[in-house]
Copies of this chain bind each other. A is one copy, B any other.
Amino acid sequence: MPTMRDVARLADVSIATVSFVINDTKPVAPATRARVEEAMQQLGYRRNALGRALASKRTRIIALLYPALQRRLSETAVKFFTSATQTAKDLGYNLVLWPISNDAGQIEELISSGFIDGVLLMEVQLDDARVERLQRSTLPFALIGRTRHPEELPYVDVDFENSMIEAVSYLEGLGHSRLCFVDSGGAEHALSGYGPVVRSRATFAAEVERRGLESVHLSCEESPMSGQNAAEKLLETAPDTTAVILMNDNASFGFLNGLNRRGIDVPGDMSVLLIGSTPDGAAATDPRLTVLTLPSTELGRMGVETLVDQLEEPGGPMRQAVVICCFEEGQSTGPVQR
């Protein structure tokens, strides 16, 4: 691997000048620049990122932190990751998925290693020890999601409250007055205070109350089988329900299947509205689901922008933003019968 020194020697300039050319950080005479570029070309020179990082005190690497990497990465998560990666690249950074377990030591180690410039924290809990740890450090960070009290934190989150209100309002507009909310929370989500689930539940409860609607709520794990079981449970416990809000990507196929087995027609007998999924997720069933899609691409982009803001202007104002889900009509919702 040729170094800057090799290039400088071949082009007959100082290494400083080579650096100026590469970084375009000081004016260089056209002829000199040409010589340097020629030399780099000839040697196949590529700047060593380690040397650069040590000297400039910036690695230009951003770590995406997933808590103990979940069972699987949903399409939403992958789209988010892809978008974040691209945005980082556009802004001159590399984004990498850095796996660390949630226990005390590891995050400290990552922070103090000097390998990364900043952290994008995923799956933020309402009360999140990792956030406190990051706040105590000097490492810039941004949250995807937000804690219970995010006033002083840079974050991007989905506006589950308003998305839920939109969902309830849409169904009420179709004449439905007996709703069910099926969330994606196994026991662990409820206990750990995972924002999207907690906020959605609370908003659902408040909204049906406010509007004087009847409602039930079911928790359902992320699998077709659980979805099927949830459907059966619904038909047992609240057979009068006419509309369901489903916040569970992997349960949708099983849920519709469960209804279908009992002879329940969608949307004839029951409207089903998917929330927080993707267009592909909505297309995973027959009939295609009406959906409020999670803006994962936007979320990825904004997350990185929020972090890079912190990186480039450390003391500066921090962005805080929520983005709303996007309504997309399918064939699974319709006016109430009877």
Interface residues of A (CB under 8 A from B): 1, 46, 48-51, 53-54, 59, 61, 63, 69-75, 77-78, 81-82, 85, 94-99, 108-109, 112-115, 223-225, 253-254, 257, 280, 284-286
Contacts of A286 in B (CB 8 A): 225
Give A108's nearest chain B residue, CB to CB: B46
| Pairwise interchain contact A78-B72, C-beta atoms closer than 8 A | yes
User: Cβ of A225: which chain B residues have Cβ within 8 Å of it?
Assistant: 253, 284-286
Q: Are A72 and B72 in contact (CB under 8 A)?
A: yes
> From residue A218, how far is it (CB to closest CB) to chain B in Å?
19
Collect the chain B residues with CB atoms within 8 Å of residue A115's CB.
Answer: 49-50, 61
Residue of B nearest to A46 (CB): B112
* Total copies of this chain within the assembly: 2
Query: Bound state CA distance, A81 and B254, in angstroms?
Result: 28
- Please determine whether B72 and A75 come into contact, CB atoms closer than 8 angstroms: yes
Q: Take A223-B284, A253-B225 as given contacts and tell me if A114 and B48 are in contact as well, using a CB distance cutoff of 8 Å.
A: yes
**Which B residues are CB-close (under 8 A) to A74?**
72
A108 to B45, CA, bound (A): 12
A53 to B51, CA, bound (A): 9
Query: A95: which of B46, B50, B61, B99 is its contact (CB, 8 Å)?
Result: B99
Given contact pairs A72-B73, A78-B71, A78-B73, A1 touches B112 in the complex (Cβ within 8 A)? yes
Q: How far is the CA of A113 from the CA of B51 in the complex (A)?
A: 10
The CA of A151 and the CA of B49, in the complex, are separated in Å by: 33
- Report chain B residues within 8 Å CB of A99: 81-82, 85, 95-97
Among candidates B69, B113, B284, residue contacting A78 with C-beta atoms closer than 8 Å:
B69
4 nearest A-B residue pairs (beta carbon): A73-B73, A97-B97, A46-B112, A224-B253
Known pairs A1-B114, A72-B73; list 15 more (Cβ under 8 Å): A46-B113, A48-B114, A49-B113, A51-B54, A69-B81, A72-B72, A85-B99, A96-B96, A96-B97, A97-B97, A97-B98, A224-B224, A224-B253, A225-B253, A257-B257
